A = this chain, B = another copy of it.
């Protein structure tokens, strides 16, 4: 069996989830691909943290170049989070002939042209399925088997934290601040929730979706956005009285020859399929001129759903290396 060696940047929650997905499904992955995938080096400072995976001390490194300069490593998984140094590390890995897989929407959205160009110039693959919709395989669908369509619209609930907060406000009649506190205690919201609640995370994801559906990259900072921190118990109550639910909707639509796009809270009638997408779930609508309306629904975050998307991308790249080397 051929071995494909992988370098991993970051062994936090998502890194651990990806590592675990590979470990627990190794037999299935080997059976379907005929390949032995091995994460041989991991860039991570915190080598002592107790994790639910088996990592030996010699896998850890504090030096990114040890991964970039390792000629045996074919694929680099970037799970550091944040725009930099992630983008520079991804570019560096590509320059060293390695294909890159990431879940990092902030870094991909901010550097879309730079990173896709680097992949092309260095003749490597660059995949980021996990960056939009977590485990939902939406990016692969819109870039491959749906490509015989002209896309007309893409619209969705792209952030699990805000959807959790809005669902809890709706179900229990609570105020925003009270639900945010609960969400933070349960680990559904971060200590600084700004990126989620102000729609920044959604804008990153919408920027990536627009680049792939319409071939039209708009930097996330240029996407009009409104978050949910201004939504009150009373707003939710008023919507309810009209038979509606408030959802944070990211949308882009072809109107004539330009594209209208925004991230903002919207009132959706209860009968709308997105109205029943609750708590941490995500859902994405796509409209194509041949296929009509499609919806994809699933867990938009979490170590294992994200790990599924990361390892799915790795597997697709590894199969190509396995077939050609």
Contact = CB atoms under 8 A, between A and B. Distances in A.
Interface residues of A, number: 51
Q: How many copies does the complex hold?
A: 2
A291 interface: yes
A294 to B, nearest CB: 4
B296 A308 contact: no
6 contacts: A25-B290, A145-B313, A289-B304, A290-B311, A291-B308, A295-B297
A312 B146 contact: yes
A14 to B, nearest CB: 12
A128 to B, nearest CB: 12
A292 B305 contact: yes
Interface stretch (A44-52, A133-141, A233-241, A254-262): A133-141
Nearest to A307: B290
A290 B273 contact: no
Contacts of A296: 294-297
Contacts of A314: 148
A61 interface: no
Contacts of A290: 17, 21, 24-25, 135, 304-305, 307-308, 311
Contacts of A145: 129, 137, 140, 309, 312-313, 315-316
A296 to B, nearest CB: 6
A32 interface: yes
B150 A146 contact: no
Given A25-B289, A141-B140, A273-B276, A147 B33 contact: yes
Interface in A108-151: 129, 135-137, 140-141, 144-150
A325 interface: no
Contacts of A292: 135, 298-299, 302, 304-305
Contact of A148 (B25, B136, B276): B25
A35 to B, nearest CB: 11
Interface string A85-99: 000000000000000
Interface in A135-172: 135-137, 140-141, 144-150
Nearest to A22: B148
A104 B22 CA distance: 35
A21 B135 CA distance: 29
A244 interface: no
A29 interface: yes
A32 B151 CA distance: 13
Interface string A270-306: 0101001000000000001111111111110010110
A136 B294 contact: yes
Interface string A30-73: 01110000000000000000000000000000000000000000
A297 B299 contact: no
A28 interface: yes
A312 B24 CA distance: 32
